[in-house]
Structure formats: structure tokens, C-alpha cells
A and B are shown apart, each in its own frame.
Chain A
């Protein structure tokens, strides 16, 4: 079955550590996204990528980094510079048609907790 796989589902990080969240898709989608969701809040865009080897900052990129070396993979690193990283992280992808992105497909999310 095609879809988006995020791993791990739960992740615990100590203060000062970097952690990397995995996102893989087998939908052959061009665009991929990372969103952060805090309790009772909407989605805030961290980074997005339209093509391999290219990505742009979203609204809250500080303290995060990404790479897009392969079309199917878009890992997110939460660095020690991110002061409040405890949140639910969602990865998504979409296909581009005629220069316009279609609807996004989401993974099941990774819940990151700083301990």
C-alpha cells in the first residue's frame, strides 16, 4: 500500500541533544512538508520541499534542519537550539499538477517529548 511512514511514533530527547525524525513516502510525490502541532493548536509549517535537493523555511524553522537527498525521504532534525521541542510532528506530501500542489497526505505523526 502507498503511503507516508513516520518513525518513531514516540521519541524522548534529553536536553541538549539533537534528534532526527524520519519521514518516508512511496507515493512518488514531489512535495514534502513538516508541520508542528502543539496541544489544542493548529498546524505550523516548519520546512517544505518541492524537489530533491531543495527546501524552504516555513513559519517556524529556527532550531530545525532538514535534507532532501532522495525524493521519497525528508528527515527532520530537531537541534538543541530549539528551545521548546516537545510537540506532535507531522510529515506530509503532495503531488504537483500543472504547477499547483494537490491535497496533502499525512503520516501518523511522531510525538517528541523532552525529558
Chain B
């Protein structure tokens, strides 16, 4: 079946460190891929997306590239800030049915 696997957290980094959160997917077709961010006590916000292979989504210094050959959509940021502390979810949408989410990765940034 279709699924999303992302690295388990929590991930703790110092401010200005480089961030990678791994995400791989299993899908029978060609899904759209998303990264969402959730701040404490709030709903999820779309961070970035990619709809076809080799597309790169980017927003607020975050990037992720849709890699069909490795079925991956890893999230990266060159220099994290304390304000980036949140839970990050990878997700895919394959058909007009439902969006499938990974289990989330909690990120904490130390000043």
C-alpha cells in the first residue's frame, strides 16, 4: 500500500546548524509530495510541495527535491533558527481519496 516513512525524532540542533529530515515514500503511482509544519497547539501549515519528479519545493529557507529514483523527499535547511522548532510532517497525495502523512519529526533548536 501507499505509505510515508520519516526519520524519528526528536532532532536537536544548535542555531545555524544544517538540517536534514529524511522522508521516503511507497506509492503505486506518481504522487504529489508535501512537507507540513506544526507549531505547539496549532494545526498544520503547508511548508512546501512538489508535484512531479525532480521538482524542488522551497519556502522560508527550507528545500526538498522530489527524487523518484530513491522515492525520497528529504527536507533541508542550511541554517536553522530557534523559531524553526516545531514538528514536521512529510505527506503524499496519490489519488482523489486521502492524503497520507508520516508520523512527524520533532525539531528543537538550541540558541
Contact = CB atoms under 8 A, between A and B. Distances in A.
B49 interface: yes
Nearest to A108: B43
Interface of A: 4, 6, 31, 33, 35, 40-43, 45, 48, 50, 56, 58, 90, 92, 94, 96, 99-109, 111
B45 interface: yes
B98 interface: yes
A101 B96 contact: yes
Contact of A103 (B34, B41, B97): B34
Main secondary structure on chain B at its contact with chain A? strand
Interface of B: 32, 34, 36, 41-46, 49, 89, 91, 93, 95-99, 101-104, 106
Contact of B42 (A35, A56, A101, A109): A109
Contact of A108 (B32, B42, B104, B106): B42
B98 A106 contact: no
A43 B100 CA distance: 9
A92 B43 CA distance: 9
Given A42-B102, A42-B103, A45-B98, A106 B45 contact: yes
A103 B93 contact: yes
Given A99-B96, A102-B32, A105-B46, 7 more contacts: A43-B104, A58-B98, A101-B98, A104-B44, A104-B99, A106-B36, A106-B44
Main secondary structure on chain A at its contact with chain B? strand
Contacts of A92: 43-44, 99
Contacts of B102: 42
Contact of B99 (A4, A94, A99, A108): A94
Contacts of A58: 98
Contacts of B45: 106
Contact of A100 (B36, B95, B103): B95
Contact of A90 (B32, B44, B93): B44
B103 A106 contact: no
